Amino acid sequence: MKNSRLHIGFAHHGVSPTANRWVAVRIAACLCASMHFAGVVVAESPGEAIIVKSVDIGFNRLYKVGEWAPLRLVVEAPVDCEIVWSIEVPDADDSQSVLPSGLVRLAANAPTTLEGCFKTGRIGGDIRVRIQDREGRDRALLRLRDAATPGGAMHDGLRLDTRLVATLGHPAGFGNAPASVSDHTDSNWVVTPLATAADLPSISRAYDALDALFLADEAVQTGGQSLLARIQPVQSEALRDWVRCGGRLVVVPGVNAEAYLASPLAKWLPIEVLGATQVRQLNKLEVFAGRNAPLAFPGAIPTLRIAPVGRRNVLVDEIESPLIVRVPYGLGHVTVSAIDLDRPPLAAWPGLSAVCHKMCDDGPDTTRQSGPGSGRLTHLGITDMASQLNAAQDEFPEVRRLSHWSVLALILLYIVMIGPVDYLLVHRVFRKPVLTWVTFPTLICAASGLAVWAAGRVNGDRLLVNQFDLLDTDVETRFVRGQTWFTLYSPESRRYRAAVAPIPLETPASIAAADAIVPDAQLSWTGIPENAVGGLYRSGGLGAGTRSYHYTPHAQAIEDLPISQWSTKSLHAVWTQDSRAPGLAESRLESHGAVRLSGGISHRLTAPLTDCLLVYAGRVYFPLSKGRTLAAFQDWEPAGPQGRQLDLKSFLTDSSQFKAKPYNPLNHDRFELLQMLTFYHTALGASYTGLAHAALRELELTPLTQLGRAVLVGRFAAPGSHLVIDDRPREPVRRDTFVRIILPVRQTYDAEDRIIPKFDP
């Protein structure tokens, strides 16, 4: 603009001293705000400031967008005080979520470690940590993306289709790079080493971002205490909960059996170590590596002697003893190597890297979108199975939105009415052009009123909820995990309080005895793994004017959740419990040979299961009863006259005459979606669906069916949880509850039948 200037200063001709003081106040406020956003410690007086000495984000500053990850601070206060610290991150809708801690007491001049979790909805989103006293005054505020943060600025979050593996003990098969993409055939592997056992989180959900955790005991190298023995009981319990919820744990105990047995992990790992032994050949290990890398060595190599396991649980065995075994535990599994991979001759063996990666892997890559239909699906905005489930959850029959063609037709009709029709009306009918000053605004007001009325009728005027419950239980460990995905549709712009009240999965006897324990659910937002509105792969987050809401401590509820008018918000809750009932189901299944199955099963749930199917080793079995129903305490023999069986892959792909039916990414049938989410590997994953399976990868149970477990899936007539909105129970317009029961299968030929005993002369 010509001759325009901007004057900034404390004194200027024509400006009063009072105005100067106001300018000074505003500049000071701006400076304080800049200090906040630069990660500078602030307080009302310097003597009250809390010093943040170190910040650890994720696993070596690596984490995944849309997944919980650990965050650890070391702080120091000048005086004794009580604080509440919170983590502020953007969610998938650009709203700021605030997760506060409980009340924490700090001793004067004593470093204190604060440990928590965060879940960000933006790859490049900011993360802030706020420390307040009991009165709500800020004592410290850190912006972790700033370079001034202790330890340096944080990295961008990894995509969900990246395989993140953390290692402890510096296993030779992964090299020594701080964080690198390995030379594995899959280029999306990222391996990051942890320095010490103290770097392991003590919160189970903090491991959610990991695809596998590799623990290698290094007592032989250090000559000191066993690395596994340095794991604290609270860390061991967190690892146990993570594995039971679907985690993949790899343990290489070394050759010191006594040191391993003294570790807290040995108290719950499902693989028993009996002592020490030796092997004189490693031919099967060379085959397992899949590399042309012969392994020659003189004499014998010391190994651990592992208790006999089923044949399906042995990955590598030799004549003397199994070398690598994998056993299910809950919904996850544990892999143990009886041979020390960091000792010669294996430490320098070229095939060791492939062995370590296969120990962390449990199937084909499910994280990449591929297949002949992938390009078409991208235009639909669906590239992951989680996006398809989210689209099903967003479907409300009462909300009858107009199609795009209908909207275009109405716009065209509006143009015709205010143009040619208005012209003909005032010029040909009334023959008074001056009347256009009346007819034109009248038509506009009528169209606007009609649009408002139609919008209210089409979009509805009440709060709507869609709910999807999934209850998983492992019969052998009596572990139960419940999950619920629910989508809120708001008819107005307002804030809500949301919570979930789980219903324990118990037997009628335990409920009658009032012996059931009601677990607490942990609530969080959900987002789709897409580069679209509400997607996780967009950059940015926490901009100016961002709406915020906060969790209660331990994320048991969300308060002040903002939802715009005629919009939806998707949330997810998870809870776990150890069932006190003697058994939610009974399994007498036996496996003979490769896939032959015999025996029966029954369940003791409070309601019948319908649409049942049982999967084991690539076969699917259906009951012949009406609606494929299994009543409580009803005995069923899947391979007997009461059932029929099919090839699982043919069933999932609806194959006929060796030709699979094309997968429909717009299918909103939740039971069919659950079948594909559960046995995605068997259907050849992305090669068939054209969709990745990264965001909900923990729902995949195909590996368990290859490790001596059968999976019973059915629709449950009872709800798995109750939604509480604004402190009142809210009945969903649509609710589907499904149960998946993990059943042990006895293998008639065990590893012990193939071990040749050694006799000392």
Residue 358 or residue 222, greater confidence:
358
| Per-residue confidence (pLDDT) for residue 22, from 0 to 100 | 38
Residue 448 has pLDDT above 60, yes or no: yes
Residue with tokens 């307080």: 43
pLDDT class for 111, splitting at 50, 70, 90? Answer: very high
pLDDT for residue 179: 43
Mean pLDDT for 733-737 is 95
What is the mean predicted confidence (pLDDT) over 143-157?
Answer: 70
Report the share of the chain in percent with pLDDT over 90.
54
* Cα atoms in the Cβ-side hemisphere of radius 13 Å centred on 337: 27
The answer to whether residue 176 scores a pLDDT higher than 80 is no
Say how far apart CA 153 and CA 72 lie, in whole Å. Answer: 14
pLDDT for the residue 180: 42
CB 562 within 8 A of CB 495: yes
Helix (H, G, I), strand (E, B) or coil at 279: strand
* pLDDT at residue 14 greater than cutoff 50: no
pLDDT in tens, 390-445: 999 999 988 887 777 888 888 888 888 888 888 888 888 888 888 888 888 888 88
Q: Is the pLDDT of residue 743 over 90?
A: yes
Share of the chain above pLDDT 70, in %: 82
Q: Do residues 36 and 141 touch, judged by C-beta distance below 8 A?
A: yes
Q: Please determine, for residue 6, whether its predicted confidence score (pLDDT) is greater than 50.
A: no
**pLDDT band, residue 35 (cuts 50/70/90):** very low
Task: Check residue 144 and give its pLDDT.
Answer: 85
The C-alpha atoms of residue 363 and residue 289 are separated, in whole angstroms, by 15
pLDDT value at residue 257: 85
pLDDT at 187: 59
Average pLDDT of the segment spanning 294-314: 87
pLDDT score for 454: 78
Q: For residues 701 and 279, which has the higher predicted lDDT (pLDDT)?
A: 701
pLDDT at position 516, please?
56
- pLDDT band for 217, please (50, 70, 90 cuts): confident
Contacts of residue 673, Cβ cutoff 8 Å, sequence gap at least 6: 385, 388, 389, 392, 667
- What pLDDT band is residue 128 in, cutting at 50, 70 and 90? very high
Sign of CA dihedral 214, 216, 222, 227: positive
pLDDT band at 226 (very low <50, low <70, confident <90, very high): confident
Q: Which residue in 500, 400, 480, 534 sits closest to 716, CA to CA?
A: 480
Contact indicator for 140, 53 with CB cutoff of 8 Å: no
- Nearest 5°: CA angle at 253, between 249 and 256? 165
pTM metric for this prediction: 0.86
Query: Mind listing the pLDDT tens digit for each residue in 43-89?
Result: 444 457 899 999 999 999 999 999 999 999 999 999 999 999 999 99
* 142/152 Cα distance (integer angstroms): 12
SS3 call for 384:
strand
Closest by CA to 463, choosing from 503, 494, 500, is: 494
Rounded Cα distance, 114 and 112, in Å: 6
Strands 609-616 and 180-181 turn out to be unpaired
Nearest to 131 by CA among 51, 234, 222, 235: 51
The identity of residue 513, as a single letter, is A
Identify which has the larger pLDDT, 661 or 21: 661
Q: If you write DSSP's letter for every residue of 679-744 in order, what string do you get?
A: STTTTTTHHHHS-B--TTGGG--HHHHTTTEEEEEEEESS-SEEEEETTEEE--SEEEEEEEEEEE
Q: How confident is the model at residue 5 (pLDDT cuts 50, 70, 90)?
A: very low
pLDDT above 90 for 755: no
Q: Hey, is 278 helix, strand or coil?
A: strand
- Mean pLDDT in residue range 578-590: 83
Q: What's the rounded mean pLDDT across residues 100-110?
A: 93
Residue 672 C-alpha from the chain's centroid: 21
| Residue 521 DSSP class | P
CB 118 within 8 A of CB 142: no
Question: What single-letter DSSP state applies at residue 416?
Answer: H
pLDDT at 534 over 50: yes
Question: Looking at the predicted structure, is the pLDDT value of residue 598 above 70?
Answer: yes
Residue among 200, 242, 213 at smallest CA distance from 360: 213
- The answer to whether residue 13 scores a pLDDT higher than 50 is no
Residue 374 has pLDDT above 50, yes or no: no
Residue 297: pLDDT band with limits 50, 70, 90: confident
The closest of 231, 160, 178, 239 to 205, measured between CA atoms, is 239
Are 721 and 503 within 8 A, CB to CB? yes
pLDDT for 482-524, tens place per residue? 999 999 999 999 999 999 999 888 766 565 555 556 788 999 9
Q: CA 297 → CA 70, 281, 346, 710, distances in Å?
A: 43, 8, 10, 40
What average pLDDT is seen over the chain?
83
Q: What band does 10 get if pLDDT is binned at 50, 70 and 90?
A: very low
| 29 pLDDT more than 60 | no
Q: Write the CB contacts of 256 (distance below 8 Å, at least 6 apart in sequence).
A: 217, 219, 220, 226
Residue 533 confidence class, pLDDT cut points 50, 70, 90? confident
pLDDT at 545: 53
Edge-to-edge strand order for the sheet containing 332-337? 180-181, 189-194, 163-168, 212-216, 248-252, 332-337, 322-329, 314-317
Give the confidence band of 298 by pLDDT, cuts at 50, 70, 90.
confident
pLDDT for 376 equals 45
pLDDT surpasses 50 at 95: yes
